[in-house]
Amino acid sequence: MKRAFIVGVMGGGSAPEKDLRAARRLGRLIASQGWVLLNGGRNAGIMEASARGACEAGGVTLGILPDASDHQVSEYIQIPVLTGMGSARNSINVLSSHVVVACPGGTGTLSEIALALKAGRPVILMGFDAERIFDAHAKAGQLHYAETPEDAIERIKALYP
């Protein structure tokens, strides 16, 4: 028996309308290939939009959820997997996927990209902008840059005088 081909669609819980439309279209196209769509399973953002598109095209959807309860499961997820693992479920998302498509998102999506690359999974960036995430965290004072070890020490001392 041939195993199903699983495409992981990763992206943020909130996104602009144009990105939601693209994710919905992506879901439809994945389903039209006969592939299973896997995502974070929640009823928001890229997850909801991509699952909706796949369902509209008659596809199969699998959601790997961070919680142990089903209160945030998208109505378009046919197979919800409740993990109770929080962000640790990101590993399950990417390891269960043959390929990962990263749509616009935040640090959660960024972690899924890194985990997929580390696991040797192909990653397709579809509108994902890592530089925007790094810039936002730098402006918030959370991300700092250093050129040398001495510079890193100075940055640490400035953060923790």
The domain tally of the chain equals 1
Q: pLDDT at position 6, please?
A: 98
Distance CA 23, CA 65 (A): 18
CATH number of residue 50's parent domain: 3.40.50.450
Rounded to 10 degrees, what is the CA torsion of 24, 26, 32, 36? Answer: -90
- The mean-pLDDT minimum among 30-39, 53-62, 78-87, 141-150 falls in 141-150
Q: pLDDT at position 96, please?
A: 98
Q: How confident is the model at residue 74 (pLDDT cuts 50, 70, 90)?
A: very high
On average, the pLDDT of the chain sits at: 96
Q: How confident is the model at residue 75 (pLDDT cuts 50, 70, 90)?
A: very high
Give the tens place of pLDDT for each residue, 119-140. Answer: 999 999 999 988 989 999 999 9
| Residue 158 forms part of a structural domain | no
Range(s) of the domain holding residue 64? 6-149
Distance CA 107, CA 93 (A): 15
Q: pLDDT at position 86, please?
A: 95
